[in-house]
Amino acid sequence: MKVDGINYHTVWMEANSVFFIEQNLLPFQFIIGEAPGYRDSCEVIKTMRVRGAGAIGALAGFAMAQACNEANTVNYESFIIHARKEIEQTRPTARNLFYATEKVFLAGLISPLNATKEAQKIANKDATDSLKIGEYGSKLLDDGYNILTHCNAGWLAFVDFGTALSLVYFAHNSGKKLFVYVDETRPRSQGARLTAWELNNAAIPHAIIPDNAAAHYMSLGKIDIVITGADRIAVNGDTANKIGTLEKAIIANEFKIPFYIAAPSSTIDLNCKSGKGITIEERSQDEVLFQEGPDNTGRIHRIRVSSPGSRALNPAFDVTPAKYITGIITEKGIIRPSESNIKNLIAQ
């Protein structure tokens, strides 16, 4: 995607350094960060400087390749086994992270060069898959549609194009007039900070709404379709996504509004039978208790926005049962969520 007329990927690798867009600084500053080693890349994932299923997966693949290049020939295999464990501990819910790490690790058992090639292949496929998701899914968006999103599933969440927003970009570029209701997505405000920034950058009409306003707009008939991304999809179609997705699905079901998941097939975990088997990441309570933003000089500050002395609970994800999901939009087409449909999709 373009920023100030220049094409960028969210994350990429040059030599043995990984470069990435600093998402924690957006939308106030657009800065390119660098992770020179695999442990630096792990820290980038942990601290959400890069976030989003596909972007995390690509960065994890690059981190695994970095580890293969950093290992010496004497204890090469034990080094990369340990590195793989470190990378996989950074974000426990995101399926794409494990998918990429495993594939690059196996390639790295052959050679570091092979690992680097595999990591780049995964990143390239992520961008290609995202574009295909946009092509398939854009057919669901009629001219004049009002769309609700939750969290960020745009190009910042993937290597390029995105998933839920890829549909919007594709339909917008084909001339359809669309409006997007952007859930702010507390506590990290991925909607208010990232999705809104992307849509503004693409000149697509939109408005940020509080997380608890979606039911109000649905009840008024102002939302035609809900589209979100996914961090892990179980084989029965149950889907883990950013906290708050479940309640949007339940409300959409109540008002008979289509609710779609947009995700590449790499997000599907065939070893996970249902949503009950998905690990839900618990993050620091500080993300709930504090917020960040710039002053009038552009300097970013953190302030407490909650009662001093109170603690907070901060689950990063929830699981939406397949019964609430109208369809899953993938790079291979759109399916209704069921075990047979998902297994047939993977077999294609």
Q: Domain 131-347 belongs to what architecture?
A: 3-Layer(aba) Sandwich (3.40)
What is the mean pLDDT of the segment spanning 88-110? Answer: 94
pTM, whole model, 2 decimals? 0.94
How does the average pLDDT of the chain come out, rounded?
96
Domains 2-129 and 131-347 share a fold: no
Share of the chain above pLDDT 70, in %: 100
Distance CA 22, CA 294 (A): 15
Residue 290: pLDDT above 90? yes
What is the domain partition of the chain in residue ranges? 2-129, 131-347
What is the mean pLDDT of the segment spanning 142-164? Answer: 96
Residues with catalytic function: 231
Q: State the pLDDT confidence band at 244, using cuts at 50, 70 and 90.
A: very high
**Residues 181-238: tens digit of each pLDDT:** 999 999 999 999 999 999 999 999 999 999 999 999 999 999 999 999 999 999 999 9
Fold exhibited by the domain 2-129: Four Helix Bundle (Hemerythrin (Met), subunit A) (1.20.120)
Q: State the pLDDT confidence band at 297, using cuts at 50, 70 and 90.
A: confident
